[in-house]
Structures are given as structure tokens and as C-alpha cells.
Chain A
Amino acid sequence: MATVEHSDGTLGAGPDSSSDDGLRRRDFINIAAVSVAGVGAATTLYPLVNQMNPSADVLALASIEVDLSAIQPGQAIKTIFRKQPLFIRQLTPAEIQAANAVSVSELRDPQTLAERTKEGKPQWLITMGVCTHLGCVPLGAAEGESKGQFGGYFCPCHGSHYDTAARVRKGPAPKNLEVPDYVFRSDTVVAIGEVA
């Protein structure tokens, strides 16, 4: 009650006032209160935004295990990985040879077959079944489907052709079919979505 506020807002007449430096007690309270409220508001925003990220049940299916034992050379299967088609194909020696015969420097997205498969298992070609052009599912994994001009996959939407290493050779697609992360648990079981 002993302090009186002057018109400039500084406090005078109080024994503990330090009005000389021009900093008012109110300035300090103001900055402190607004800072706390600001930090609180920013912290509150985090759950409001983060709730839209993939939930735990979605993340639980972020990696899957696939048994390869039934896939014969020259055969491919389609499965679902992260809600998108996945192609797993066992290449024949002829297909491996065809893939290795291509001059890498001429490719739109230069990669060798070895770079797209695991060491010691060049016959297992595991790629997403999502065309890199606009996301259609290419043909060629199932029996009787067109494999395109280069014996790999063919996307019917806009005519992209992929070769036996699932590299784009013709058409509008900018990239090769994506190779997801995977590790071989054994010779016949592969864990898709896991990093070695």
C-alpha cells in the first residue's frame, strides 16, 4: 500500500523500489507471464498435431515377415506392406544375366542388380509394386500378366516398362521401383521394413 504508481508506470516511494534503471516491476511480471503462457501454448500444440501421425496399431504393421519357400524361380508374389503392394520375385539365371548385361550408364536411374538385391541372394528381387510415375500397380507379378518389353514389369496406366531388375527402361516413370528395407532372417524368411 505504500507504493504509489507514477504516470510513467515506475514505482516510487517504496523502500525496495529501483525505478532508476527504467525497468518496471510490471515489465518483468508481464514478460514472465507471457513467456510461461507462450511455452504452455506451444507445448499444448504438440499432442494436437502429433495425434495425426500414424498410430501405434499402424506402426505395429510397419514390418512384416514373408516366407519365400514356395516361390519358384521365375515366379513372383504380391503381398501388402504398409498398405501398399509389394512384389517378391525369384529371378531365373537368364533374368539375372539379362539384368547384368545392361549398361548402367544408359539408365535413367542408374543402378546395378547387385545394388538392388542383397549380397549372395541376387535371385531375390524385392520391390514395391508402386509405379514411380503416379502410383499405379504395375503388371507382371502374377501369372499371365504382361511383363513389358524388358521382361520385368509393365505399368498399364501410362506405359512405363521395367526390366528384370525392376529398373525403369521406357515410359514416363522417373525412378526404378523402390526397394524397401529388408533383412533375411534365414534363407527362406525375409523381414520387410527392418534395417539390418
Chain B
Amino acid sequence: MSFPWAEEYRPKSGFMRWIDQRLPLPRLAYGAVGGGYPVPRNLNYFWNFGVLAGIALVIQIVTGIILAMHYVPYDQAAFRSVEHIMRDVNQGWLLRYLHANGAAFFFIVTYIHIFRGLYYGSYKAPRELVWMLGLVILLLMMATAFMGYVLPWGQMSFWASKVITGLFGAIPLIGEPVQQWLLGGYAPDQPTLNRFFSLHYLLPFVIAGVIILHIWALHIPGSSNPTGVDVKGPQDTLPFHPYYTAKDGFGLGVFLVLLAAVVFFAPNYLGHPDNYIPANPLSTPAHIVPEWYFWPFYAILRAFTVDFILPAKLWGVLAMFGSIILLFFLPWLDPSPVRSGNYRPRFRQFFWILILDILVLGWCGGLPAEEPYVMISQVATMYYFAHFLIILPILSWTERTLPLPASISESVLHGEEAEAAPADLSGIRPAAAE
């Protein structure tokens, strides 16, 4: 698809030729995830996480469709139907734990995927749209995860729906009508539950559609790589299959082992016990926090405590959404022509400080809104925005970067041409060995 030397699809039988002339689906798959997609030969295991996120979505859709066969989106019955799934449905406990923990794992692999992109400059030209479509997927994931969390109609579900829709209530003038429109009433109730169920079922398929666009946009320039150097010729690439299907297959094995370990040995570790109490509109749980994957954003939301021109509540909401909207402008906030953090020593330091900063935000977001955590999250929030709005632009103009390798193949060979270039492996010889 992306490079002129990409292997063309050749049907192996008369039947496949017949299909190919009428519906070239095998040709599409071959060019997208088969031998026909040339991939830089130096990808490391951080490049597994896109595939892992895709598989996590498949797990969510499969288990979710099954849960929907047993779940009842009715406020008097929702909680009971979830308990019915846990106790009565054959292997229902397994399917629900897979779905709940699968969501957490979906976020883990997606966050690593995003940090991979941040470190290796995957957002830079010509992959800006790949990056932005990825952020759209992240926003859709967040909406889906939130609405899914509401469905069991436990205490945390109920109050999450109240608090999160309350964010929209911070919008000046139209805030309250918008919140009532989202809830279908004055507080979370049957209409809320029913529409969240409908949208929770819909959005994963929207995500799947945006993922197709994400991959399509990716396959125009082809995958980036740890050096950030462009592919210069056939010696720089390997066919996706079998080389990266095998590498992704190994990563998938590790991913599934970890998911199974949590599902079977600590299925409620990431959850909140309060959500095993049926929703009670008259009593808020003492310590209310979202799921861990929202903690950094939750900390940003709570970091604003003083009215300054606008009310503090509105600042918090703006900052929380702004922390992601900001990332849409990242390709232009960091105009450095060097993509990979491997060749940007200063950038690399600030990258790790940013990771630390986000971990601190996450830590604060999971704790009660008390001092000193509020002050810590205020500092960390300030740093988060400073990183993208001040540090990165200055860095990209002032930083002295390290010399880039002449090509991908040169960077992987390290002068070991004779060993690393087998005699006649389908005629591919690294340029450096010529």
C-alpha cells in the first residue's frame, strides 16, 4: 500500500482468483496486515500496543454483546440483573470480569500506545491525522467507559453519572438545560440508564470505524520506527506477515496472560466495593472517585479552587477537556524535525518528567480532595500545560539533537553486516553491505 516494493497480492488458487476479481477482500487484508504491507524492520515491542488495543476492543465487543443478552437496562432491575449474571448465568462471572477488567486493560495498552507516540514523535508530519484520529478514539473510549460504568446501577455508577453530567452543568447559561437533556430529568434515573445503555452499545462500533480510518491514515506513510528516520528502500522494511504478526502474537500472549491473571486472581482489585451497593439517590459514598484511568483528568478537574474571571468549577472543566484537546495541536507545538526521542536528549528528560507528572496527577486524582493533594495537583496541572505550551515549543527550537543514522538498516546493523545480512534471504541485502 505504502511503498512501491510492497509485495502484490497473488491469489493462490482459481477460487481465490475468482473471489479477487469480484470482491478483493483478501487483497485488502493482504495489503493491510499480510505480506503486502512493508514495515520498518527495527520496530521494538512498543509497536505491539496498537494491535493490542484493537484486540482489547474486540474482547470488549464480544463480551459486551454477551452481557447485553442478560443485562436489563431498567432502574429497578439493572443491579439485580448484574448479580444474576454473576451468580446464575453460565460462566457469567467470567464474562463480566473479562469485560470490566478488559476495559482497564484497554486503557493500559492505549495509554502505552499514546506514550509510545509521544516519545518517538509519531504525531509529527506526515502522521498528524493518525495522531488526531487516535485522540478521537481516546475521547470515544472515555465516553464509552463512563457510560458502561453507570450500567450496573450501583452506588458508584449512580454518583458517577451525577458528577460527570454535572461537568456540563458548569457551562455558562446553557449548562443546566444541557445537563437535564443528558440525564433526561433532574437527576440520574431510568431515562439516563436506558440512553446510556443504548449509547454504550453503539459507541464501540463507532470506535471500530474510527480505528479503520486511523489505520488507513497510518498506512499511507507507513509505520514510524524507533529511529524516526524515514524508510528509504526495501532494505529498511520487512513484510508485516510473518515478521510482525509473529511479534504481535508474542505480545498478545503476554497481554492475555496478564489479563487472565487479574480476571482470575484479583478481579475486583481495580473496582470499587461501593459499586456492589445498589444505587441510592439519597446517600453519596464518602469517598467518590472515578476508575483509575480517569484519575489524572479528575485531578486536573479538582485542581481549580479559586474563581478567577470565570468560576472555578468552569475552569476545572475547561482544563480537564483542554488537557486532551491540547494534544490535537501537538504536531504544531513541537515542530522539531527530529521525531524520535532517542536523538533528542533534552526532550527525553522532559518526556520522563511529563510521565512522572501524569503519574503524580493520577495519584492525586485517586485520593480525597484534601491538602496537600490539592496543592500537589495544582502544581502538577500547571506543569502538564507548561510542558506542552512552553517547554516543548522552546525545546524544539533550541535543542541540539544527536546525529541521526543514515538509514534504518544502518541503525540496526551496527557494523555487523556480515552476520545480520544472511546470504540470500529473498534477495534483500542491506545497502550498507553493498
**Given known contacts A48-B62, A51-B69, what 15 new A-B pairs fall within 8 Å (CB)?**
A6-B422, A7-B426, A46-B91, A47-B95, A48-B66, A50-B91, A51-B92, A51-B95, A53-B90, A55-B92, A56-B88, A56-B89, A57-B84, A57-B88, A58-B88
Question: Per-residue 0/1 for B80-99: is the Cβ within 8 Å of any A Cβ (1 yes, 0 no)?
Answer: 00001001111110110000
Check A47 against B425 for contact (C-beta < 8 Å).
no
Cα A53 to Cα B66 in complex, Å, equals: 12
Does A39 make an interface contact (CB < 8 A)?
no
**Which B residues fall within an 8 A CB radius of A?**
62, 66, 69-70, 84, 87-92, 94-95, 249, 256, 419, 422-426
Does A33 make an interface contact (CB < 8 A)?
yes
Does A37 make an interface contact (CB < 8 A)?
yes
Does A1 make an interface contact (CB < 8 A)?
yes
Instruction: Chain A residues near B91: list those with CB within 8 A.
Output: 46-47, 50-51
Instruction: Name the CB-closest residue of B to A9.
Output: B425
Check A33 against B69 for contact (C-beta < 8 Å).
no
Check A55 against B422 for contact (C-beta < 8 Å).
no
User: Can you spell out 15 A-B residue pairs with CB atoms less than 8 angstroms apart?
Assistant: A4-B419, A5-B425, A7-B422, A7-B424, A37-B249, A47-B94, A48-B66, A48-B95, A51-B66, A51-B69, A51-B89, A55-B89, A56-B87, A57-B87, A58-B88
Instruction: Name the CB-closest residue of B to A5.
Output: B422
Cα A99 to Cα B94 in complex, Å, equals: 53
Does A42 make an interface contact (CB < 8 A)?
no
Instruction: Chain B residues near A37: list those with CB within 8 A.
Output: 249
Instruction: Chain A residues near B70: list those with CB within 8 A.
Output: 51, 55
Instruction: Chain A residues near B94: list those with CB within 8 A.
Output: 47
Check B84 against A7 for contact (C-beta < 8 Å).
no
Does A52 make an interface contact (CB < 8 A)?
yes
**Which A residues fall within an 8 A CB radius of B?**
1, 4-7, 33, 37, 40, 46-48, 50-53, 55-58
Check A50 against B423 for contact (C-beta < 8 Å).
no
Cα A6 to Cα B87 in complex, Å, equals: 57
Instruction: Chain B residues near A51: list those with CB within 8 A.
Output: 66, 69-70, 89-92, 95
Instruction: Chain B residues near A4: list those with CB within 8 A.
Output: 419, 422-423
Check B249 against A33 for contact (C-beta < 8 Å).
yes
Check B422 against A47 for contact (C-beta < 8 Å).
no
Judged by DSSP, the binding face of B is helix
Instruction: Name the CB-closest residue of B to A37.
Output: B249
Check B84 against A55 for contact (C-beta < 8 Å).
yes
Cα A55 to Cα B93 in complex, Å, equals: 12
Cα A57 to Cα B91 in complex, Å, equals: 13
Instruction: Chain B residues near A5: list those with CB within 8 A.
Output: 422, 425
Instruction: Chain A residues near B249: list those with CB within 8 A.
Output: 33, 37
Check A47 against B90 for contact (C-beta < 8 Å).
yes
Instruction: Name the CB-closest residue of B to A29.
Output: B246
Instruction: Chain A residues near B95: list those with CB within 8 A.
Output: 47-48, 51
Q: Distance (Å) between the CB of A67 and the closest chain B CB?
A: 28
Check A55 against B90 for contact (C-beta < 8 Å).
yes
Instruction: Name the CB-closest residue of B to A52.
Output: B69
Q: Distance (Å) between the CB of A160 and the closest chain B CB?
A: 35
Instruction: Name the CB-closest residue of A to B420.
Output: A1
Cα A53 to Cα B256 in complex, Å, equals: 26
Cα A58 to Cα B90 in complex, Å, equals: 11
Cα A37 to Cα B246 in complex, Å, equals: 12
Instruction: Name the CB-closest residue of A to B419.
Output: A1
Instruction: Name the CB-closest residue of A to B426.
Output: A7
Q: Distance (Å) between the CB of A49 and the closest chain B CB?
A: 9
Instruction: Chain B residues near A1: list those with CB within 8 A.
Output: 419
Contact of B90 among A6, A33, A50 (CB under 8 A): A50
Cα A4 to Cα B424 in complex, Å, equals: 11
Contact of B88 among A6, A48, A55 (CB under 8 A): A55
Q: Distance (Å) between the CB of B359 and the closest chain A CB?
A: 34
Instruction: Name the CB-closest residue of B to A46.
Output: B91
Cα A98 to Cα B135 in complex, Å, equals: 80
Cα A33 to Cα B256 in complex, Å, equals: 15
Instruction: Chain B residues near A33: list those with CB within 8 A.
Output: 249
Instruction: Chain B residues near A58: list those with CB within 8 A.
Output: 88
- Asked, given contacts A37-B249, A51-B69, whether A7 binds B90 with beta carbons under 8 Å apart, the answer is no
Q: Distance (Å) between the CB of A151 and the closest chain B CB?
A: 43
Cα A53 to Cα B70 in complex, Å, equals: 12
**Which of B89, B249, B426 gathers the greatest number of chain A CB atoms within 10 Å?**
B89
Instruction: Chain A residues near B425: list those with CB within 8 A.
Output: 5, 7
Cα A40 to Cα B94 in complex, Å, equals: 15
Cα A5 to Cα B249 in complex, Å, equals: 22
Instruction: Chain A residues near B422: list those with CB within 8 A.
Output: 4-7
Cα A46 to Cα B90 in complex, Å, equals: 10
Cα A40 to Cα B252 in complex, Å, equals: 12
- Asked, given contacts A33-B249, A37-B249, A48-B66, whether A7 binds B87 with beta carbons under 8 Å apart, the answer is no
Cα A129 to Cα B94 in complex, Å, equals: 38
Cα A172 to Cα B390 in complex, Å, equals: 85
Cα A56 to Cα B426 in complex, Å, equals: 58
**Which of B90, B422, B424 gathers the greatest number of chain A CB atoms within 10 Å?**
B90
